[in-house]
Amino acid sequence: MTKYAKDYSVGELMCVSLAREIDDGDVIVLGSFTPLAYASYILAKITHAPNSTLLAYAAVDFRPFQLSFIRAETAATRGAACIWTMLEDLNSVHLKGRGDVEAISSIQADGYGNINLSVVGDYNSPKLRGPGGAGAPEVIKMHRKMIGYFPNHSKMTFVPKVDVITGTRYVIGAEERIKSGYRPGPIRYITNLAVISKEEKDKPFKIDSLHPGVSAEQVVENTGFELEVPGDIPETEKPAEEHVRLLREEVDPYRTLEFDFKPGRERLGYLNEILQKELEAIGYA
Amino acid sequence: MPTESKVAKLSDIGNIIKDGDKVAIGGSWLGSHPMAIIREIIRQKIKNLTAVTVVGSIDIDMLIGAGCLSRLMFSFVSMEAFGLAPNFRRAIEKEGLPYDEITGLAVIIGLEAGGRNIPFLPYRGPFGSDLVKYRPEFYKEMKCPFTGEDLIAAAAIVPDVTIIHATRADYTGNVQIEGTSGTDVEMMRAAKKRIVSAEEIVSPDEIRKNPAKTKIPKFQVDMVIEAPLGAHPCSCAPDYVFDPWHIMKYMQAAMSPETFQQYIDEYVMKPEFDYLDAIGGMKQAAILKRLAREVKYL
C-alpha cells in the first residue's frame, strides 16, 4: 500500500503527477531549463522508470543528478553516456517519432491543442513579445504524448483561441496519428488545480482529476475554453511520502521547483537564497 | 612548406565580419555563446547585422541593446529562469525591430540544407502553425514526389559568417567541443566564413590524442582566437557554469536603455583583457569552475 504524503506543496503535487506520466523505457527530452519538469523526470528515473533515457543539452542517457539552479547543464554533460549535437537529437528522436514526453508550457493554450509562445496581442504590434517556441511547436506533434504543465490555471492562460498559433498537436486521435506516422497518445495538461486531457479531435478537453480541495466549478471558471465535466471526477493521486522525501532530500534539496510558483517580485530574492545555499554547499560562505 | 596558422587576435574579427552580414551565432540557452566575440562586435561598432540563432539568450539581447542588429532570425530568445530578454522585448515591442520567427527544427534543418548546398530540405514540419503562414520565404507546403505525403520544405540558411565558442582548437583550425555543441556544427558547415574562439589553443598533436572529440575539421574554419572564459557570462560545459550573479546584474541593467549603456561602458567598451577583472577576477572564475565539478549523482 502506498503511504500518501500529508504535507506537500502544489508544486510537488504537479511534479509527481508529471513524473507519473513517464513510463519505464520512455525516451524523455528535457528542453529549456525548467526546474519542475527536470525534477519530475529525475524523480521518475530514480523510482518507477529506471530504464528511461533522459536527454538534455548535448547529453544523452545522463545519470540522474541532484538539481541545482546553475549546474543542470554541466551535471548532465559530465554524467552523459553519449554527447550529441542538436541535429543528431532531431534525426534520432524527434523526426523519427521516438520521443515519448517533453513537457512544455506556454503563454496561452486553447482547447484545440494550440500553444502560443510568440506574442500576446497582434503579431505585428504585440503587447508582449514572448520568447518563441524553440522546439516546442513541433515536438508537441511528434512525441507520443503532448504534456503541458501550467502553474497558473487561469483564463489568461487557457483562452478560447490563442492569439498566435506558434505550434499545435495537429494530429489528434489514435487512428489519425497512426495513419500519419505518429504514435498515439493524449494531450494532457497538469495545472495547479487539476489534470485535464484531450484524446479526440472533435471532443473538448475533459477533467481527468481534481487536486485535493479543488472543485470542478473552480476549474471551469478558470478555463476559457469548453471542458467536459464528468459526473464523478476522481481526486488527483497525491504524492507518496517517499516521493516527497526524495524530492526534498535527494532530487531538489534547494527547492528549485518552487521557483515557478513565486510571484514575479519575489523571484529574485528566492533565486539569491538558492544561490547562497549552493555556494555554501561547496564551501564558499 | 610550413602549415598555415589561423590564429588571430580578437581585434582581427573585423577582417571577416562586415557591416550588413548575416551572422549565425553558436551556443544554446545560457550555454557556450561566443560572448568574447559578441563583445568585440560591439566594441568595433559593426552594424546592420542579421543575427541567426536557434536558442539565443544574452548574446542576442546584448547585440540588440548595443544597436548592432537590423534584423533577427530566431526560434527562441530568453534569459530562461532570469526572465524574458529585456532588450529583445523592447526592440520588438517598442522599436519595431524586423524579425523572422522560425520554429526550432526549421532553423536547424534549414542550416543543414545550407551545409548540403541545396535550396531546402523536407520534413514533417509544423502544419497548422501560424509561423508557416507568416514566413512563406522560409516554409513551403509540398507533396512528397514518391508517396504524395504532405511535407514542409525548410528553406536553406546560408550565413555569411558563423561564430562559435569551443573547448579547444589547434592553430590550423581543428575544433573540439566537449559540452553543449547545440547547432554549432551545422552553422559552421553552412556558413561562407567561420570564426572560432576557444578556451585554449593546443598543438595538432594534442588534438590527435582524442580525435573523437573533434567536431569541426580545420577546412571549415577560417579564424581561431584564444579566449579563456570566452563564453562568460554563459557556461562552457563541462568546464564552467553560467554566472548567475553577473546575469542578474545584466538583467537589472538592461531594464532601461540608459542603465544598459552604463553596463556596456563598464564591461564591454574596455579591452577584453580587462573583462576578467571587471567580473570578479580569478576568484569568480574559480567559483564557476568549482560549481561545474561539484555534482551529486543519485
What helix, strand, coil percent values describe chain A, rounded to 5? 35, 20, 50
Residue of chain B whose Cα is closest to the Cα of A47: B298
Taking 80 as the threshold, does the pLDDT of residue B2 lie above it?
Answer: no
Picking from A34, A158, A157, the residue whose alpha carbon sits closest to that of residue A104 is A34
B185·A85 Cβ contact <8 A: yes
- Distance CA(B5)–CA(B223), nearest Å, equals 9
Residues in CB range of B118: below 8 A, 6 or more apart: B156
Taking 70 as the threshold, does the pLDDT of residue B66 lie above it?
Answer: yes
A251·B298 Cβ contact <8 A: yes
A210: left (phi over 0), alpha (psi -120 to 50) or beta: beta
Residue of chain B whose Cα is closest to the Cα of A34: B81
pTM above 0.90, yes or no: yes
Instruction: For residue B72, tell me if it sits in a domain.
Output: yes
Residue of chain A whose Cα is closest to the Cα of B109: A87
To the nearest whole Å, the CA of B2 is away from the closest chain A CA by 34
Q: What is the DSSP string of A101-140?
A: B--B--SEE-TTSEEE-SEEE-SSSEEEE----TTHHHHH
Instruction: For residue B147, tell me if it sits in a domain.
Output: no
To the nearest whole Å, the CA of A144 is away from the closest chain B CA by 15
| pLDDT at res. A31 | 85
pLDDT tens per residue, range B219-232: 999 999 999 999 99
Taking 80 as the threshold, does the pLDDT of residue B141 lie above it?
Answer: yes
| Candidates B186, B295, B298; nearest CB to A46 | B298
pLDDT tens per residue, range B204-214: 999 999 999 99
Residue ranges of domains in chain A, CATH in brackets: 10-281 (3.40.1080.10)
Terminal-to-terminal C-alpha distance of chain A: 44
Average pLDDT for B163-169: 98
Residue B102 in contact with residue A134, Cβ under 8 Å? Answer: no
Residue of chain A whose Cα is closest to the Cα of B108: A87
pLDDT tens per residue, range A80-106: 999 999 999 999 999 999 999 999 999
B28·A86 Cβ contact <8 A: yes
Instruction: For residue B153, tell me if it sits in a domain.
Output: no
- Distance CA(B239)–CA(B241), nearest Å, equals 7
* Distance, CA of A62 to chain centre: 19
Instruction: For residue B256, tell me if it sits in a domain.
Output: yes
Instruction: For residue B243, tell me if it sits in a domain.
Output: yes
Instruction: For residue B292, tell me if it sits in a domain.
Output: no
| pLDDT at res. A285 | 67
- Distance CA(A133)–CA(B78), nearest Å, equals 10
Enumerate the residues of chain A whose CB falls inside 8 A of the CB of residue B215.
85
Cα dist from A29 to A51, A55, A254, whole Å: 14, 5, 23
Instruction: For residue B264, tell me if it sits in a domain.
Output: yes
Place of cell 509544423: B126
Residues in CB range of B225: below 8 A, 6 or more apart: B7, B8, B9, B10, B12, B13, B36, B37, B195, B196, B197, B198
Amino acid occupying residue A174? A
CATH number of the domain that residue B234 is part of: 3.40.1080.10
Residues in CB range of A283: below 8 A, 6 or more apart: none
ipTM of the complex: 0.96
| Candidates B93, B101, B105; nearest CB to A132 | B101
| Candidates B76, B104, B241; nearest CB to A71 | B241
- Distance CA(A109)–CA(B78), nearest Å, equals 19
Q: Which structural domain range is residue B39 located in?
A: 10-101+158-287
The ranges of chain A with pLDDT < 50 are: none
Q: Total domain count for chain B?
A: 1
To the nearest whole Å, the CA of B113 is away from the closest chain A CA by 12
Residue B201 in contact with residue B6, Cβ under 8 Å? Answer: no
Instruction: For residue B86, tell me if it sits in a domain.
Output: yes
Sign for the CA dihedral angle at B190, B191, B194, B200 comes to negative
